[in-house]
């Protein structure tokens, strides 16, 4: 895949970039190693100030960053601004809380006291340069949710961003530079995915985190395993959105629409499978389909657009193929399901649009049942009981998050106990927050980002034994 900015709303290539050659890559790896030796020694106050200044750059550059993101991957402009604002909040959150999350621990108890270990402590030390292989769908946020805790812990960052968001990738490096990061602390590597293995295997690189597809996860996880390096994988999802009879139905429908189409439907934690109890199914299905059909599809730079194009032609074609496969095997398309060629309202354009689509009658024979629909396609399932809802929710290779609509505490307990996912959100949409761990189980990956769990992923948990100190 060439490293290039291609506007998904028009299909026009705006700029192409030369990938880093061997010398350029070597220079950046050397700089990262040198930077780490210095940066691991600076105090939390310096690191927190660095994050606060970076947050300030996100604030002042918000409009420019939002336009860059929308141009490169097609997210509606208001959502791009919100993404930049979220980055600033997360940076400030780690600036405020990071030091406490990895403060020294003093695990002394009666046992350790007896054995003379009363003065032992645990220190969270940084690992070194961490490679972050990142996706285009939240091209600012995915990077910041890695970078804020990593830098706060004293690691240094090497960003290999998706090949279709190079301007955003370079803007991120520039933000940390302007924030006063010591040279080499946060660098963007303009490289293709074929060069990732060599970087992971490089002795100077301590660990790798990848957010992306299952295929990329297998590949990066295998190399990291072979190189015996720590890895975190945040992969795909096909999150269930379960609606039970006690749900506030109008609110559930409104949220379901948002949860499916936010970011043009290209979110790992978007609700993708809507599992609705038969008592409320007909009312839910009618309102949900009507509200999706009514969404304004259009140029994402236009403030009125609620749904823009998919980020890549391949992504749009893959999504269309999933729906075609379902129809071939007997599913029904309730709305949408036909590629929109050209920019809506601008005949002759070549944007990669796909309409909001609802599919019913989805069965396990169909790819749509098992695979991730990365775009505005909702699968609707009718179930007769809570047990059937949970079984359907779990009938997926993924386990990222889930949303359940009920006011019944007993039903809630069953869901928390039985739904196989990294999150269970009740009466609300799945979302990420700096204070809450984020990640999945099954083929959604392993490890956690955000909160204390995220900052500790790339730490050397060091036992410090203080024997006779006098």
Q: Which residues bind ligand NAP (CB under 6 A)?
A: 1, 133-137, 142, 160-163, 192-193, 196, 211-213, 216, 219-220, 234-237, 268, 372, 374, 400, 444-445
Catalytic residue among 268, 306, 411, 459: 268
Name the minimum Å distance from CB 465 to ligand NAP.
37
DSSP letters spanning 416-470: HHH--SS--EESS-----TTS-B--EETTEES-BSHHHHHHHTEEEEEE------
Token pair 């809507």 in the structure block, residue: 274
Between the CA atoms of 396, 401, 406 and 409, what dihedral angle is there, to the nearest 10 degrees? 110
Interior/surface letters 194-216, b for 16+ CB within 10 angstroms, e for the rest = eebbebbebebbbbbbbbbebeb
Q: Which is nearer to ligand NAP, 29 or 196 (CB)?
A: 196
Report the alpha-carbon distance of residue 231 to residue 427 in Å, rounded: 33
Token pair 């090497």 in the structure block, residue: 158
Name the minimum Å distance from CB 163 to ligand NAP.
4
Name the minimum Å distance from CB 444 to ligand NAP.
6
Between the CA atoms of 387, 390, 394 and 399, what dihedral angle is there, to the nearest 10 degrees? -160
Q: Which is nearer to ligand NAP, 213 or 427 (CB)?
A: 213
415 part of the active site: no
Report the alpha-carbon distance of residue 162 to residue 139 in Å, rounded: 8
Name the minimum Å distance from CB 463 to ligand NAP.
31
Q: Which is nearer to ligand NAP, 192 or 250 (CB)?
A: 192
Q: Which is nearer to ligand NAP, 406 or 444 (CB)?
A: 444
Residue nearest to ligand NAP (CB): 212
DSSP letters spanning 144-165: HHHHHHHHHHT-EEEEE--TT-
Name the minimum Å distance from CB 253 to ligand NAP.
24
Catalytic residue among 33, 72, 83, 234: 234
Name the minimum Å distance from CB 197 to ligand NAP.
7
Report the alpha-carbon distance of residue 447 to residue 454 in Å, rounded: 8
Report the alpha-carbon distance of residue 309 to residue 136 in Å, rounded: 14
Number of DSSP helices (H) and strands (E) in the chain, helices first:
16, 21
Q: Which is nearer to ligand NAP, 44 or 446 (CB)?
A: 446
Q: Which is nearer to ligand NAP, 165 or 297 (CB)?
A: 165
- Closest by CA to 50, choosing from 189, 183, 187, 182, is 182
Report the alpha-carbon distance of residue 85 to residue 201 in Å, rounded: 35
Token pair 């959100």 in the structure block, residue: 425
Name the minimum Å distance from CB 273 to ligand NAP.
14
Report the alpha-carbon distance of residue 36 to residue 128 in Å, rounded: 6
The CB-side HSE value for 368 (13 A sphere, CA atoms) comes to: 33
End-to-end CA distance of the chain: 62
Report the alpha-carbon distance of residue 190 to residue 178 in Å, rounded: 19
Q: Which is nearer to ligand NAP, 285 or 368 (CB)?
A: 368
- Region for 375 from its dihedrals, namely left if φ exceeds 0, alpha if ψ lies in -120 to 50, beta otherwise: left
Name the minimum Å distance from CB 159 to ligand NAP.
9
Q: Which two structure tokens, joined as six digits, stand for 352?
A: 């990669």
15 part of the active site: no
Q: Which is nearer to ligand NAP, 269 or 285 (CB)?
A: 269
Q: Which is nearer to ligand NAP, 92 or 272 (CB)?
A: 272
Token pair 């799945």 in the structure block, residue: 430
Q: Which two structure tokens, joined as six digits, stand for 413?
A: 């307990």
Name the minimum Å distance from CB 278 to ligand NAP.
30
> Looking at the annotation, which residues are catalytic?
234, 268
């Amino acid at each position: 895949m060439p490293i290039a900015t291609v506007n998904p709303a028009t299909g026009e290539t705006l700029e192409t970039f030369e990938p880093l050659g061997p010398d350029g890559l070597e220079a950046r790896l050397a700089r990262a190693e040198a930077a780490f030796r210095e940066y691991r020694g600076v105090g939390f106050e310096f690191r927190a100030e660095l994050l606060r200044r970076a947050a300030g750059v996100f604030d002042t550059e918000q409009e420019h960053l939002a336009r860059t993101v929308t141009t490169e991957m097609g997210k509606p402009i208001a959502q791009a601004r919100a993404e930049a604002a979220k980055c600033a909040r997360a940076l400030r959150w780690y600036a405020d809380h990071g030091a406490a999350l990895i403060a020294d621990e003093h695990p002394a108890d009666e046992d350790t006291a007896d054995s003379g270990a009363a003065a032992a402590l645990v220190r969270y030390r940084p690992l070194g340069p961490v490679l972050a292989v990142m996706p285009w769908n939240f091209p600012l946020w995915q990077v910041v949710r890695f970078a804020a805790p990593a830098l706060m812990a004293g690691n240094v960052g090497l960003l290999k961003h998706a090949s279709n968001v190079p301007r955003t990738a370079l803007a991120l490096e520039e933000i940390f530079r302007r924030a006063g990061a010591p040279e080499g602390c946060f660098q963007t590597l303009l490289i293709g995915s074929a060069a990732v293995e060599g970087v992971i295997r490089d002795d100077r690189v301590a660990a790798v985190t990848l957010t992306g597809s299952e295929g990329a996860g297998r590949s990066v996880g295998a190399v990291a395993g072979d190189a015996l390096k720590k890895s975190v994988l945040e992969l795909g999802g096909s999150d269930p959105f379960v609606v039970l009879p006690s749900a506030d139905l109008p609110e559930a429908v409104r949220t379901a629409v948002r949860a499916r189409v936010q970011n043009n439907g290209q979110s790992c934690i978007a609700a993708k499978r809507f599992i609705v109890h038969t008592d409320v199914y007909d009312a839910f299905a009618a309102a949900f389909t009507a509200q999706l059909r009514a969404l304004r599809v259009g140029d994402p730079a236009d403030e009125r657009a609620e749904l823009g194009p998919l980020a890549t032609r391949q992504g749009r074609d893959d999504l269309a193929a999933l729906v075609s496969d379902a129809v071939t095997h007997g599913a029904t398309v309730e709305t949408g399901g036909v590629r929109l060629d050209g920019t809506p309202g601008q005949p002759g354009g070549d944007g990669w649009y796909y309409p909001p689509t609802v599919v019913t009658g989805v069965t396990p024979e169909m790819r749509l049942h098992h695979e991730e629909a990365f775009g505005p396609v909702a699968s609707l399932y009718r179930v007769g009981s809570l047990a059937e809802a949970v079984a359907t929710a779990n009938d997926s290779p993924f386990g990222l998050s889930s949303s359940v609509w009920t006011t019944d505490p007993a039903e809630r307990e069953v869901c928390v106990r039985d739904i196989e996912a990294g999150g269970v959100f009740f009466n609300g949409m799945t979302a990420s927050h700096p204070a809450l761990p984020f990640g999945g189980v099954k083929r959604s990956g392993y490890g956690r980002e955000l909160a204390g769990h995220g900052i500790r992923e790339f730490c050397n948990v060091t036992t410090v034994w203080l024997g006779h100190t006098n």
